[in-house]
Structure 1
């Protein structure tokens, strides 16, 4: 029997699913605990310059927030398929290729999973979005090939891929008693992926499921994009975003977009940026706001600010309004954000997601009333506006919430058994 697992390398969190029949004689799927008894490992790496150590996941975030000097990297998956993957960043005075950074993280995921399972894994089914990169088949293939190469480099001898929403479908299928036509809505940190699939207990036993998949679709929009536009509309104006220079030209927006986008935050910390920003502050109409931006960048607090925005996004999924304490700004600020402001900030993104769902239904030749169930997974599917809009597109469908962070990993484990025994 192959030593196989399912790996969900996510933009925000990663999991590993493994089916072990040795102890009970019965096949059962479980997610392996990757950190502190929890199945999820946040996809974060922190290079602690004070202690010359590398930490991962929650420990990485805790080390960074505790104020240790170093470099925090998050949203690593977003590098796949982009030109950045062949670039590098500076860590402790040394150049670190981004490709090697991903290899270090995935290697750590593998080591932790093997330690928890008590065995090595030689085969893996990796989850992948329907599209790593929109509207570029070449970039999409490059992203998958890059991930496969990294998986082989960390010790997996055989690697295959499964669409993340299909993996979630396999997990949901293990819970139902009759046939259903299901829209799997996987709203992750970096992408929104959908599959329309016929599921049933009888179909689950089939080795080949291609005919059960009516359509797949996706768009490169996810939770980190919601963070980005909430930050740009609500937080970055405190730092001078969309203000003017004395000559009536706009303050360059690149500083703000870099700080609002998880995988480009570190680009704001270069010496070139500091030099340019000093000139901008001198010529700004609102120098106090630009001075606040300057102090934030000098203190390397961009990741802290992004985490505060993410915190606000999550809170606004339940609350009508929240107060966001921005105590590390200089001077500190308490910002009130109402849910309508958040929904306005992300409205154009949700419109694109709606169109992706409608195209998928058209591709499948299925009317909006013909879907039995919408199965939501992925951490960002908790955003109320998004869930309501998708639900409104499918008026007759039941709305079911899966394990927002675990359904894909569990489904990949089932697929690993099908593929590798």
Structure 2
């Protein structure tokens, strides 16, 4: 019997939608044969309407006139959520942008499955905002209102790492104490949970959750540190101004941070950049930065950095091809460069896990298994750093981009049946 409820993993980088078909959690196809939809919208200036996902990124790279918005989930929990951005000559609120994206997911999933969905369990990180409970609750409330505006009537939430654990629970034979490491594009969440075949039908799983913790670090942060280490110095980061002052870093941070890239194109930022340029001692580098901003190629550079990060998971070195862009040169990056840039992020992930174990009064030896899910878990230095904390534990790898959505659909069966 098919369901009228679903699980939605609204991700920073990619999103997925799952439902129960013939008593089994199943991923819906959202873009061609793909079960993920990149969290991106391209607003066209030459035609009405927008493109989404891979099509949005393709339109941007193919040079269509318009504006690319990517990593949309990163806006939740920030002050940007209450503001607007200029699109096609008018202001459009970030809430409306998120609503457009979730509406598109709903329409595509319903077309793919031939079902109508009014009930949804949305995944959420353990912390949308670190160390700020009020801001965290507000972020969840905003996402709930956006989901309602997109056409969902009854909305529940579940922690994303727990959802990933529900999917694993269908595959293990004996009760186990599992650390779920859900390493996404925007956040990293960790949960200690007892899993087993006798627990699956429980409506209330609170007793099986020993502890959870999260930190606002994800794949986009690894993009950022890699860009700041290898790309932005070619555009002037670290160079000097007259008077032996270092050039301000704000513009470089904007261009290295997915959801902040549009800020680099504002009139205020452009005026400040012109002022910085006049006092720069390395105008050849600042010329590249000025050209990049004028041509609005920030997302182009960020996409190439993201591709380099992904390719470095299986290669010892890569070339970031920016010869034909405003940067004007191809930039080599090695795995060693990446590991070095990622050291502080990896340390923070490790410390978060250690604090989680301490809060549960557990030693690493008590953990039976570690479940990795989320695209960031494919970064070698990340997985190695976490695995080293649990040398005696089994390791499992869920569907990196679908496990959470599948688990949310399983949870929906309990919540909405």
Q: What are structure 2's unaligned runs of at least 5 residues?
A: none
Q: How does 1:178-217 map to 2 (within 5 A)?
A: 178-217=174-213
Within the alignment, does 1:76 sit opposite 2:77 as a pair? no
1:268 and 2:269 aligned? no
Equivalents in 1 of 2:206, 2:270: separation in Å?
A: 53
Q: How big is each residue's C-alpha offset from its partner over 1:45-74, in whole Å with a ceiling of 9 and x where there is no partner?
A: 000112233010000000000001111001
How has the CA–CA distance of structure 1 residues 250 and 300 changed in structure 2, closer, same or farther, with 3 Å as cutoff?
A: same
SS of the counterpart of 1:231?
helix
Deviation at 1:278, TM superposition (A): 2.2
Measure the CA separation in 1 of the matches of 2:319 and 2:239: 24
Conserved 8 A contact 1:240-1:286: yes
Does residue 37 of structure 1 match 2:33? yes
Decide whether the 8 Å contact of 1:2 with 1:420 is kept in 2.
Answer: no
Partner of 1:125: 121
Give the aligned partner of residue 336 of structure 1.
Answer: 332
CA–CA distance in 1 between the matches of 2:118 and 2:82? 27
Query: Which of 96, 106, 109 is the equivalent residue of 2:105?
Result: 109
What's the CA shift for 1:20? 2.0
Contact 2:3–2:19 (8 Å) recurs in 1:
no
State the alpha-carbon separation in 2 of the partners of residues 401 and 46 from structure 1: 33
> Which residue of structure 2 lines up, in the alignment, with residue 249 of structure 1?
245
CA distance in 2, matches of 1:2, 1:42: 25
Task: Please state if 1:350 is matched with 2:351.
Answer: no
2:302 is the alignment partner of 1:306: yes
CA contact (8 A) 2:289 2:327 kept: no
Match of 2:17 in 1: 16
Aligned-residue offset at 1:2 = 6.4
Q: Which moved more, 1:274-283 or 1:27-36?
A: 274-283
Q: Provide the aligned C-alpha RMSD in A.
A: 1.1
Q: Separation in 1 of the partners of 2:321 and 2:46?
A: 28
Secondary structure of 1:204's match? coil
Pick the aligned partner of 1:363 from 349, 356, 359.
359
The alpha carbon displacement at 1:204 in A equals 1.0
> Retained in 2: the 8 A contact 1:2–1:123?
no
Alignment partners' CA distance in 2, 1:257 and 1:208: 43
**Shift in Å, 1:262:** 0.2
Task: Give 1:331 deviation, angstroms.
Answer: 5.8
CA distance in 1: counterparts of 2:256 and 2:250, whole angstroms: 10
1:321 equivalent in alignment to 2:317: yes
Matched, 1:280 2:276: yes
Which 5+ residue runs of structure 1 have no aligned equivalent?
22-26
Aligned to 1:24: none
Q: Counterpart in 1 of 2:48? A: 52
Assess if the C-alpha contact under 8 Å between 1:186 and 1:194 holds in 2. yes
Alignment of 1:64-103 (within 5 A): 64-103=60-99
> How many residues of Structure 1 are paired with residues of Structure 2 in the alignment?
416
Q: SS of the residue aligned with 1:206?
A: coil
